Amino acid sequence: MFWNYAYLIVAIVFEVIATTALKETNGFTRLGPSLVSVIGYALAFFFLSLTLRNLPVGVVYAIWSGAGIVLVTVIGWTWLRQALDLPAMIGMGFIVVGVGIINLFSKTLMH
């Protein structure tokens, strides 16, 4: 079970890096950020595929996408200075709570 979560965390990190760099690609017209995005997504999907060998796709995808959404939003808010209003913050809170409920209470992840 440890390696499943380790692979998932690595997949999330690469997805967040790739998505953050995607903003700087300017429609894939800038080479550096474009390479970071393409390589980051390739690595994210590779490590996600390792996780999916042993865990159900629906639950893994919920955790992967939920964590990615929240982390990219935090980076956008702190590093890129993108504004968040109260409904956006409440929505992110619901995503965090949902991922927490899956991890703490779902028997689907027990393998």
DSSP 24-53: HTTTTTSHHHHHHHHHHHHHHHHHHHHHTT
Among candidates 51, 54, 57, which has minimal Cα distance to 14? 51
Per-domain residue ranges of the chain: 2-105
pLDDT digits (tens, 9 = 90+) for 21-74: 998 999 999 999 999 999 999 999 999 999 999 998 988 998 999 999 999 999
Specify the pTM: 0.87
